[in-house]
Structure 1
Amino acid sequence: MGKQEWYLEYEIHVNRPGLLGDVASLLGMLSINIVTINGVRNSRRGMLLLCDNNEQIERLATILRTMDNITVTKLRQPKLLDRLAVRHGRYIQRDVDDKKTFRFVRDELGLLVDFMAEIFKEKGHKLVGIRGMPRVGKTESIVAASVCANKRWLFVSSTLIKQTVRTQLMEDEYGEDHIFIIDGIVSTRRANEQHWQLIRELMRLEATKVVEHPDIFVRHTEYTLDDFDYIIELRHEPDEDISYEAIERPSLLGDGGFSEFGF
């Protein structure tokens, strides 16, 4: 059996001088290597560890339970969120009731891009929804994550540069290494049946699809939020309300209130 990775996270009750050194010395005595270490919350420290067998981890857990200044909160094989927490020094906020919903604010764009890039690297069908008000960084984050994941991105509908509503794709644009980006507002309010035939075709493709404004998208289609594998919320500030009132009340210009959302 080869080397095994583990994730250790502990809460510090008394942050006395030398505490980290004590933990590091203990790991060294047990022949467990520290791959990465970082603070992940105000009073918590996370570590990615590398060891030879489970017996080392069992001995580590037994000894850590006797230490008064810390409490082990996680000791497990690392998950994606554990790796990102150690890499960025903070945990991604996850909805308590809906485990597939993840929350970010604008000053966490680096963390968001890294998170989406890891999703984009996964093979097979993935449907990702991203909520957020105009000019918060949704589309830019999707494109940046595509680059990080070494994937090609393709706008099926968008308003990033000019209004895009695709009704067909070139043969080489159907690759599974593409990230297909759909603007839920554009597709539901500006598209024709040919565009929807294309979207249904892409939904059956073993590739990643990202839908901006998924709530509007499902309101006017046969798809539901249950079809999404991930829902991402991006805000300017943590308490910002993500609202679609601007597109649901007609404006004086007769544009349906779309101008605020880039129309």
Structure 2
Amino acid sequence: MEKTEWYLEYEIQYNRPGLLGDISSLLGMLSINIVTINGVENSRRGMLLLSRHDEQITRLKSILQTMDTINITKLRKPKLRDRLAVRHGRYIHSDVDDKKTFRFVRNELGLLVDFMAELFKKDGHKLIGIRGMPRVGKTESIVAASVCANKRWLFVSSTLLKQTIRSQLIEDEYNEDNLYIIDGIVSTRRASEKHWQLVREIIRLPATKVVEHPDMFVQQTEYKLDDFDYIIELRSDENEEITYDTMEKPSMSQDDGFSMLDF
């Protein structure tokens, strides 16, 4: 019988010497293997476990619940957030009211890149929005995650190196394994109808699409925020407000310092 992976997380109520050793010994007696272990925020510890029988996990839970030194917070089949929590030693925070919105700050770029890379590895249609102020690291994180996921990225609209607005793709760029990056502000402020035809065509592809500034994107299109599978927010710090006031100025002409790539 194949072993099943589980995620155990507990909060330490009283951190006495030998506590981890006692738990490890208990796992050993139940023939449950520890794959990975790490602290995950404050006084919590997370473990990825391997067990051959679900009854072993049931027995583990009943025994751990009798211990007054710890409080079990999670014991379940591991989710993506659980795996990343153990890997990075911190949890990805989601919006309390909107479970598809995930929040990061700039010093968590490694965690963000890892999270997006795992999303990019999944096959099929995905529409991902990413919010954040200028120069916080949105585009760079998308590109880095694409590399980690072994995906080829294509800018449909962008300002990373120079203002880019594409109105067509060449044949080999239509690929379900490609990742398409759209800047919602650039597309809505500068794009032609040909560009929007291309955007609609790309969004229909069974591939991953990432839209920077999704709020601006949906204001000018038939798409809604409900169409997005994930919304990611990236801030310089936890107190930064994401506002579009400074980004809603009239778009600059090429004479103002921008150059255009219109394919």
TM-score range, shorter-chain basis? Answer: over 0.9
Deviations 1:197-239 (A, max 9, x none): 0000011100000000000000000000000000000000101
Aligned-partner Cα distance in 2 for 1:50–1:41: 23
Shift of 1:41: 1.3
Q: Does 1:241 align with 2:241?
A: yes
Aligned-partner Cα distance in 1 for 2:30–2:64: 12
Per the alignment, residue 201 of structure 1 pairs with: 201
Q: Does 1:124 align with 2:140?
A: no
Q: Which amino acid is the alignment partner of residue 232 of structure 2?
A: I
Change (3 A) 1:120 1:201: same
Q: Which amino acid is the alignment partner of residue 192 of structure 2?
A: N
Aligned-partner Cα distance in 2 for 1:48–1:143: 29
So what's the TM-score if we normalise by structure 2? Answer: 0.95
Paired residues for 1:139-218 under 5 Å: 139-218=139-218
Per the alignment, residue 69 of structure 2 pairs with: 69
For the residue of structure 2 that corresponds to 1:7, the secondary structure is strand
Structure 2: tracts of 5 or more residues without a match? none
Identity %: 76
Aligned-partner Cα distance in 1 for 2:63–2:159: 57
Deviations 1:7-31 (A, max 9, x none): 0000100011100000000000001
Per the alignment, residue 82 of structure 2 pairs with: 82
Aligned-partner Cα distance in 2 for 1:176–1:183: 20
Per the alignment, residue 230 of structure 1 pairs with: 230
Structure 1: tracts of 5 or more residues without a match? none
Per the alignment, residue 18 of structure 2 pairs with: 18
For the residue of structure 1 that corresponds to 2:123, the secondary structure is coil
For the residue of structure 1 that corresponds to 2:5, the secondary structure is strand
Shift of 1:249: 4.6
Aligned-partner Cα distance in 2 for 1:249–1:173: 32
Aligned-partner Cα distance in 2 for 1:47–1:249: 49
